[in-house]
């Protein structure tokens, strides 16, 4: 049963957009996966929650799993409702015994349960992992939280910015600026949480083929992100990478940064190797070399800033289209589907 209820205070335009999202999100993406989707036959129960849990369910659904999403009765529309593509949604009241029995029965025949709640919530509902595993020994329970199932912070509230902060990566991501800034909510919610959970589930499915047993996956968004940042952590003392003024990933390195074009749009330059730098300077018709990048980086940045302002972004892309200079257009979201490479590969669809 697919139902939605928009909040009364939402403008009519926003309500229409939400309705379009609900319609489009009910369409399966597996049709874009050639042959048979790899997770066909895998049955997933997703308890509706914030960003990481529905994204994890979305990944599984996109690759062929049968995902049933459980929501509260008559619940208002949520932002995460845009992540329901390929899922079926049912309403279950977890405050009633009948609702608990419904979820328990669903888990009896399921392969995976995605738990978005704080530690102990399922236990209080009478749906603890030990009980569910007694009923279905092959069940895989992915429990996604900010700080993990145990420890002093296990019950603490938080959002993406808190988990990124606790991972140790926020100052580096912010180029060690005096006041670190959050990189939207992509890293902890979707990479450290949803994607890590999906990967953990696949590992558990693989292991289950050998042991014939399910298991509980303790997904900490903080730890998932810290693991994702292994390279950053292991190279944090390399000043050539992370120096706040002119390091390669500082945003100021002349051949690894963005530049504004004459039309106000931007280009991304990633010419780290000498051969790419030579092609870059040749395309720009600038009399500089790779040695200038190392010895006079500010001077090179100034030259490139002025030169890129002489033409529009797409004019520059025409110049560099057959040249290995590691130059790319910075695409807006509404431009992505129009790029010839994405069109060729059918990477994006428009609803």
**Predicted confidence (pLDDT) per residue in 126-170, tens digit:** 999 999 999 999 999 999 999 999 999 999 999 998 999 999 888
DSSP conformation class of 339: S
DSSP conformation class of 34: S
In 243-332, alpha helices (H): 274-284, 290-295, 297-308, 313-320
Are the CB atoms for 195 and 166 separated by under 8 Å?
no
Res 297: pLDDT: 92
Q: Is residue 176 very low, low, confident or very high in pLDDT (cuts 50, 70, 90)?
A: low
On the question of pLDDT at 20 being above 50, the answer is no
Higher pLDDT, 29 or 299: 299
Higher pLDDT, 236 or 48: 48
Res 11: pLDDT: 43
Which residue among 62, 81, 111, 189 is the active-site one? 189
Q: Is residue 174 very low, low, confident or very high in pLDDT (cuts 50, 70, 90)?
A: confident
Instruction: List phi, psi (to 5°) of 280.
Output: -65, -50
Look at 89-103, 188-202, 237-251, 287-301 and tell me which has the smallest mean pLDDT.
Answer: 237-251
For this structure, is 189 an active site residue? yes
**Predicted confidence (pLDDT) per residue in 301-346, tens digit:** 999 999 999 999 999 999 999 899 999 999 998 898 889 999 998 8
Where are the strands (E) in the chain, listed by range? 43-47, 66-71, 87-91, 112-115, 140-145, 215-220, 256-260, 266-270, 327-329
């Amino acid at each position: 049963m697919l139902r939605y209820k928009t909040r009364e205070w939402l403008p009519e335009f926003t309500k229409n957009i939400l309705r379009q999202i609900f319609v489009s999100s009910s369409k399966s993406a597996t049709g874009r996966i050639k042959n048979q989707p790899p997770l066909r036959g895998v049955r997933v129960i997703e308890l509706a929650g914030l960003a990481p849990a529905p994204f994890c369910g979305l990944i599984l659904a996109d690759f062929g799993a049968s995902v049933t999403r459980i929501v509260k009765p008559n619940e208002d529309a949520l932002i995460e409702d845009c992540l329901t593509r390929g899922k079926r949604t049912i309403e279950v009241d977890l405050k009633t015994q009948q609702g608990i029995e419904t979820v328990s029965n669903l888990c009896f025949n399921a392969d995976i349960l995605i738990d978005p709640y704080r530690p102990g919530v399922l236990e209080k509902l009478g749906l603890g992992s030990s009980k569910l595993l007694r009923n279905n020994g092959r069940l895989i329970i992915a429990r996604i939280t900010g700080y993990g199932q145990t420890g002093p912070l296990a019950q603490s509230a938080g959002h993406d910015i808190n988990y990124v902060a606790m991972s140790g990566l926020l100052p580096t991501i912010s180029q060690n600026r005096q006041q670190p800034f959050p990189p939207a909510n992509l890293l902890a919610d979707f990479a450290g949480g949803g994607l890590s959970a999906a990967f953990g589930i696949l590992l558990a499915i693989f292991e289950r083929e050998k042991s014939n047993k399910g298991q509980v996956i303790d997904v900490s968004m903080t730890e998932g992100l810290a693991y994702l940042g292994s390279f950053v952590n292991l190279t944090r003392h390399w000043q050539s990478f992370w120096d706040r003024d002119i390091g390669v990933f500082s945003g100021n390195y002349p051949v690894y940064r963005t530049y504004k074009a004459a039309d106000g749009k931007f280009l991304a330059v990633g010419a780290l190797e000498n051969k790419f730098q030579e092609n870059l300077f040749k395309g720009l018709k600038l009399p500089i070399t790779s040695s200038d990048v190392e010895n006079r980086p500010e001077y090179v940045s100034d030259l490139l800033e002025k030169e890129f302002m002489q033409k529009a972004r797409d004019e520059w892309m025409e110049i560099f289209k057959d040249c290995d200079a590691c130059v790319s257009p910075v695409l807006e979201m509404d431009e992505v589907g129009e790029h010839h490479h994405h069109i060729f590969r059918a990477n994006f669809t428009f609803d």
